[in-house]
Structure 1
Amino acid sequence: MKNQVLFFLICLLAGSLITSCQKDNKQGSATKPNISNDVMALIKAKGFSTSNVHAVNGGYLVEGDIFLSTKELNKKGQTNKVRVAKTEQYSTNNLVSGLPRVITVSVSNLGSAFIQGTDLAIQRYNALGLRIQFQRITSGTADITIQGFYEGPSGGYITLGSSGFPDDYGNPYNLVQMNTHPDAYGSNPNVQYVGSVIQHEIGHCIGMRHTDYMDRSYSCGGDPVDEGDGGIGAVYLPGTPSGPDANSWMLACSNGGNRTFNANDIIALNYLYQ
């Protein structure tokens, strides 16, 4: 997810694969030279963008916001994708199973805006009546923990949050990290903005990829980029519009404010979890 605020290109980070969402002002920017051609081929085969790949501890950040662990990168498997018209909803190969299911969420050592933002995100998901429901808990071990990290801008970018994809056993990714640096959300974070970022990151935790995976120019600007499906297939959802959809909660780049589910997002989530 991207956003431009005070000349910073603001990105979300999500992982778990870990995922994050990052803003790229220039599509197809240079990749760090320590990424081998073999690794780049594996990333492309997974159906991820090979632009702006970064080596990090334990794996690689791709698409500005998705962490692919070395183990996951080398694992073979079929990925289910949910396609909504030209702007497409994508799920990962792993989804949350054992439905109906209540997914518990805790907030660890974060301020009131992050707690309220978590409650807002939970409220929005639960209002859909899916077979996954979310519940914030204040004690015990949660299925998803939301915690902070502190990291300032680097090279014109700042990370807003990070999360990841479900594991091989049908569990949601267990960690959402939110940036507490003042350049991320300011000294008085807006609850709806924070909640929208958490809502996006939880989307990754339950298996959603970016809506504009096939054309990131919808939310990120720059030239359209179509990475193809990486040989992993797609499931089209009938009855969805044929034109671009600029308001999805899973767009790669943020609008810098409040963003929740639109009609096509609800269709995609119902397809997976209703």
Structure 2
Amino acid sequence: MKKQTSSILSILFLAVFVTLAACQKESKPEAPAQGEVSQQVLDQIKAKGFSTAGVRAYNGGYIVENDIFLDQENLSAESTTPNVRIAEVEQYRTNNLVRNLPRVIRVKVVNLGTAFVQGTDLAIQRYNALGLSITFQRVTSGTANITIQGFYEGPSGGFITLGYAGFPTSSGNPYNSISMNTHPQAYGSNPNVNYVGSVIQHEIGHCIGFRHTDYMNRAYSCGSGGNEGSAGVGAVRIPGTPSGPDAASWMLACSNGGNRTFNANDRIALNYLY
């Protein structure tokens, strides 16, 4: 998840950009070295149906579409989808979904402040209220399926990454981490719980297999960007979702910077998958 920044701090929060599966933490680890992304890697990313615009090397993998983390295993995996299609306007999921349902997904928040803990509880409450075959439980000890942790990274090119996550594994487990940006320009000195919770809710969506709702044209929520990719591996249309742009979806590529939760079509998509 990302948001747009400005050289004038007084207008810092005018626009917030979600880079999905990407979202944050209160720790301040040093950012991993970022290197040049080779053309071979860019070709692999494109072949998976992701945009190659703004790809950056990070933490042993690559962040694409501003909030989705891909490692080499993701890039090397064979397609399991028989049909490759160009994205239109419906909601999309990845090939891999969470399996062994019904299932409780344990979520742990590590070294983050109160707003992030409360935001996690809010996101969990919203998912659990839907009556899905997957439910979420925040834990403070023991093994977690998803760990929410922090990173510290300032603005770059007029944007700041709010957080990022990845997609389910081929073994049917949710992606195991959500990273949230603790830089002051991400959420401010006193983060709003509804805002933080909405970002975490979005990133959990990536962890269980959702791509961006405006996959076909991220300009719908971001103001620019176009189609996120050529719709190869990892872009499977979810039946029953709208045939036009879907305002206020929790999985739009970019956020309005406020409190965003599931709309009616999001519930259709979630109930279809889970």
Superposed pair shares fold, TM > 0.5: yes
* Partner amino acid, structure 2, of 1:35: V
2:39 to 25, 37, 40: 37
> In the alignment, is the contact (CA less than 8 A) between 1:59 and 1:68 conserved in 2?
yes
User: Percent identity among equivalent residues?
Assistant: 67
CA distance in 2, matches of 1:106, 1:75: 28
* Partner amino acid, structure 2, of 1:257: G
CA distance in 2, matches of 1:226, 1:178: 22
SS of equivalent to 1:162: strand
| Partner residue, 2:136 | 134
Task: Give 1:41 shift.
Answer: 2.1
1:173 to 172, 175, 178: 175
| Partner residue, 1:187 | 189
Highest relative contact order (Cα 8 Å, sep 6+), 1 or 2?
Answer: 2
Comparing 264-273 with 35-44, greater Cα deviation is found at 35-44
* Partner amino acid, structure 2, of 1:134: F
Matched, 1:246 2:247: yes
Comparing 67-76 with 189-198, greater Cα deviation is found at 67-76
| Partner residue, 1:105 | 107
1:147 to 143, 146, 149: 149
Task: Give 1:109 shift.
Answer: 1.8
CA distance in 2, matches of 1:139, 1:54: 33
SS of equivalent to 1:215: coil
Task: Give 1:77 shift.
Answer: 1.9
Task: Give 1:257 shift.
Answer: 0.6
Matched, 1:68 2:94: no
Tell me: CA distance 1:115–1:234, structure 2 relative to 1, closer, same or farther (3 Å): closer
| Partner residue, 1:271 | 272
Task: Give 1:65 shift.
Answer: 2.0
When normalised by structure 2's length, the TM-score is: 0.84
Task: Give 1:166 shift.
Answer: 1.2
Deviating runs (4+, > 6 A) in structure 1? none
Task: Give 1:186 shift.
Answer: 0.8
| Partner residue, 1:255 | 256
| Partner residue, 2:57 | 55
Map Cα deviations across residues 8-37 of structure 1 (whole Å, 9 max, x no partner).
7644555xxxx437xxxxxxxxxx994333
Task: Give 1:235 shift.
Answer: 3.8
> In the alignment, is the contact (CA less than 8 A) between 2:64 and 2:70 conserved in 1?
yes
Q: How many residues align?
A: 256
Task: Give 1:181 shift.
Answer: 1.7
Larger strand share, 1 or 2: 1
Task: Give 1:86 shift.
Answer: 4.9
Comparing 123-132 with 214-223, greater Cα deviation is found at 214-223
Tell me: CA distance 1:165–1:242, structure 2 relative to 1, closer, same or farther (3 Å): closer
Tell me: CA distance 1:261–1:80, structure 2 relative to 1, closer, same or farther (3 Å): farther
